[in-house]
Structure 1
Amino acid sequence: MIQPIRATALAPLPHGFLGREGGVSTGIHAGLNVGLGSDDDRDAIAENRRRAVAAVKPGATLVTLHQVHSAIAVVATPGADDARPHADALATDRPDLLIGILTADCVPVLLADAEAGVVGAAHAGWKGAIGGVTDAVIATMEGLGARRERIAAAIGPCIARPSYEVDDGFFRRFAEDDPANERFFADGVRPGRHQFDIEAYVAARLAGAGIGRVEALGLDTYANESRFFSFRRATHRSESGYGRQIALIGLPG
């Protein structure tokens, strides 16, 4: 059974952060792998994506992206899977669409201005996060009639600070961008290493952009193997591939 993880901040809009439970994929992709870029069986991926839509908004048309770790946001447009836009955030005001972001440690962000009838979704890896992907999706939502003071946001399952070790160069990049970013890093166990709290960083970016309600779910993809896919966990195990989970949001109707 697929049991979408829902956020109070986005209720009652149709939405959910899905993990790996309830899918048909097997092997290293076992579960609800929806990643078209993975080397999983294509028919299994298609069935998993169908199940994901059915669990959140049956009958809706799913729109996803070819994610490239950018700060690019677009207005959602239905199309062939192989013609997905190269971007990392999307927004819509169309009730017939269900927009989705894929992750496997990166930060999935779902956003909504329920009064305006506009929703958004962003994939915030560290490059996109520091580059401003959340700012971009907010601006795209505003272009559809949203107002940022009314937007609520939820941050779904992502890699947590205890699981996210980075080096000095990574730390300096964030500290040089803004010295206040040092608060998102803790000393690592090894010399020259740091533990990065990307969830808190993304939450702060949202708050700094004027989003008054930000809900962080605090779920670690790396540490919860039975629930979530994790790129870093697969890498540490020298596995040949990894699955992707999906975060979905739509409008009533």
Structure 2
Amino acid sequence: MRRDIFVDDSFALGGFTSGREGIWTRDSADMPATADYMELSAALGTSPERMVRPYQANGQRAAVVEPRHGGSGIIKDNEPTKTDGLVTAHRGLVLTVIAADCAPVYLMDREAGVIGLMHCGRQAAAGELLRNGVDCMVSLGASAERIAMIIGHHICRDCYEVGEEVCKEFADCFTPGQLMEIFAVKDGRYFLSLSQALIFKALELGIPGENIFLRGECTCHCTEFFSYRRGDRGKQDLAYLMMK
């Protein structure tokens, strides 16, 4: 198992792990938490009943979760479904999302006592997931100008080749100058930087540049992580964030 910590202070604990087996989902609702969740919960000093995993859809929906959601997606089937972002104002509730190349985005407003964790793939980077997550945080008392944002491990631009149709999707959301920083073109092939797109989105939402941190390695380059683009199937990495 590789487990990297991105934040560990008096306010929050957040990181990213491959797990020992890379299996975070169950085959049926009556199955217990996977061994990886059991091992991670023990390492965090908590239990699966205090952790939440949404049923992700590579979409734009973010949801506020509370203690009643504890165990969702891990030891029981419950809300939230078709959701790629979680937000909470409850201490000790561990937000988790699975990823195997997409970018985990960690959001924290220490003054308001609100955190969020987003699973940002191509659709989210071009869409409204980050905005929806920030809106959920604001509804709980957070403020965009106080939010600290960390972009964790994800596939890098050198590895993330996309089709020309993806460039056209992004052209509807970003300026020509921004597109030049988001995409690299090599021999007529297009390569996408998720992190650069997410940084532009965050700045547009009012998150200060000095509050945005890029901590990630490339999941495709680094063989200690699982990567869909590299060929891993049925195994993923997990991002997690907990307010202490």
TM-score, normalized by length of structure 2? 0.85
> Which residue of the partner structure matches residue 245 of structure 1?
237
Aligned counterpart, 1:69:
58
Inter-CA distance 202–96: structure 2 relative to 1 (3 Å threshold)? same
User: Partners in 2 of 1:209 and 1:79 — Cα distance?
Assistant: 31
Q: 2:117 aligns with which of 110, 114, 121?
A: 121
2:34 is matched with 46
Does structure 2 conserve the Cα–Cα contact (< 8 Å) formed by 1:34 and 1:246? no
Classify the secondary structure of the residue corresponding to 1:163: coil
* 1:19–1:229 contact (8 Å) kept in structure 2: no
The residue aligned with 1:36 is 25
The amino acid across from 2:228 in the alignment is F
Asked if 1 retains the 8 angstrom alpha-carbon contact of 2:153 and 2:215, the reply is yes
**Aligned counterpart in structure 2 of residue 178 of structure 1, from 171, 174, 177:** 174
Q: Distance in 1 between matches of 2:216 and 2:116?
A: 20
Give the helix-richer structure, 1 or 2.
Answer: 1
One-letter amino acid of the counterpart of residue 228, structure 1: F
In 1, Cα distance between equivalents of 2:163 and 2:27: 27
Q: How large is the RMSD of aligned CA atoms in angstroms?
A: 2.2
Contact 1:38/1:242 (<8 A) preserved? no
Deviations 1:214-235 (A, max 9, x none): 111131000101x21111111x
Structure 1 unaligned residues grouped into runs of 5+? 26-32
Identity of aligned residues (%): 27
Q: 2:59 is matched by which residue type in structure 1? A: S
In the TM superposition, structure 1's runs of 4+ consecutive aligned residues that sit over 3 Å from their partners are 10-14
2:100 aligns to what?
Answer: 104
Q: How many Å separate the matches in 2 of 1:222 and 1:38?
A: 26
Deviation at 1:167, TM superposition (A): 1.6
Aligned residue pair count: 230
1:1-253 matches, cutoff 5 A:
3-7=3-7, 11-20=9-18, 23=20, 25=21, 33-36=22-25, 46-59=34-47, 61-76=50-65, 77-81=69-73, 82-85=77-80, 86-180=82-176, 181-183=178-180, 184-188=182-186, 190-191=187-188, 193-212=189-208, 213-225=211-223, 227-234=224-231, 241-252=233-244
Gaps of 5+ in 2: none
Query: Following TM superposition, by how much is the alpha carbon of 1:142 offset from its aligned partner in structure 2, in angstroms?
Result: 0.8
Structure 1 contact 15–249 (Cα < 8 Å) conserved: yes
Q: Which moved more, 1:63-72 or 1:164-173?
A: 164-173
Q: Which amino acid aligns with 1:51?
A: E
